[in-house]
Structure 1
Amino acid sequence: MGRILAIDYGGKRTGIAVTDEMQIIASGLTTVETSKLMPFLKEYITSENVTDLVVGEPTQKDGTPSGIEAEIQKFLKRFVKGFPEIPVHRVDERYTSKMAFQTMIDSGLKKKQRRNKALIDEIAATIILQDFMQYRG
């Protein structure tokens, strides 16, 4: 099989999650500065067998695209140009950051640790990936 990579794209930081080779378990991988996202993906995809990319689709409560969607579209054009063999899937990411924060509370992280926005982004990417796997499966 191969790994499925998911990203929670942000203006400053992008959370990244990945599955195992059997595509059973979704885990947070890391958070990278968005300006360094493409170099990171090139290196990761070169060293790992990535079969699919899942990208969160941010929308407003009324269903209209969020302001960051224009930046995501630019990123997707670059990604598809660089990796035409990897299919890209979009998943509604409404409330994933709130769910990520709640996950941090539920797992007993201290207040100081919960302020770590990079960790929230990584957990949000994991939730996006889990949603994709559940929907697909």
Structure 2
Amino acid sequence: MDIPQGVVLAFDFGLARTGVAVGNTLTGTARALAIIDSPTNDARWQGIAPLIEEWQPAFLVVGVPRLGDGTPSTLTARCERFARQLGGRYRKKVFTVDERFSSVEVSCGRDRIDDKAAAVILEQFFREAGTASDSSSLE
């Protein structure tokens, strides 16, 4: 996969919260960055804008949920729309990743795992792109 090099932001889109992770293609690592409380689209965009400004990502990654058998879930279309809007708003390339197991992977009895789920999504992207590091962390 031919991907731009540099800092990457990944998003775990949710109706109430959106998790954000940051990573780097050079090291292939990812870490949880923020949870944006997003009861409205405006709140979501207001939370995303300063992160884009601060991190100046080379590109973006969005997790798209599917059911266990790979068919679309109730949120699949919303996440794909979010990915298109994100790319258009910030004029960045956006890659999508099947996130069906990201929240399960980080489930640890804690309610707010969205940022850690975003880190898992980004780590999965790095693995699929062949840039993953053994030192990827959810911390």
Query: What TM-score do you get using the length of structure 1 for normalisation?
Result: 0.79
Other-structure match for 1:135: 128
Report % sequence identity.
33
1:59 touches 1:65 (CA, 8 Å); kept in 2?
yes
| Amino acid aligned to 1:135 | E
Other-structure match for 1:48: 55
User: CA RMSD, aligned part only?
Assistant: 1.8
Moved more, 52-61 or 71-80: 71-80
1:123 to 112, 116, 122: 116
Change in 2 beyond 3 A, CA 1:93/1:21: closer
2:83 touches 2:96 (CA, 8 Å); kept in 1?
no
More helix by share: 1
Change in 2 beyond 3 A, CA 1:43/1:4: same
Q: Which runs of 5+ in 1 are unaligned?
A: 105-113
Whichever of the two has the greater Rg, that structure is 1
Q: Which runs of 5+ in 2 are unaligned?
A: 131-139
Shift of 1:22: 4.2
Q: Secondary structure at the match of 2:71?
A: coil
Moved more, 28-37 or 9-18: 28-37
Change in 2 beyond 3 A, CA 1:20/1:73: closer
2:85 to 70, 78, 81: 78
| Amino acid aligned to 2:114 | D
Q: Secondary structure at the match of 1:55?
A: strand
For residues 13-33 of structure 1, give each alpha carbon's deviation from its aligned partner in whole angstroms, at most 9, with x where no partner exists.
111110148443210001112
Query: What TM-score do you get using the length of structure 2 for normalisation?
Result: 0.78
Corresponding position: 1:96 with 2:102: yes
| Matches of 1:21 and 1:135, distance apart in 2 | 12
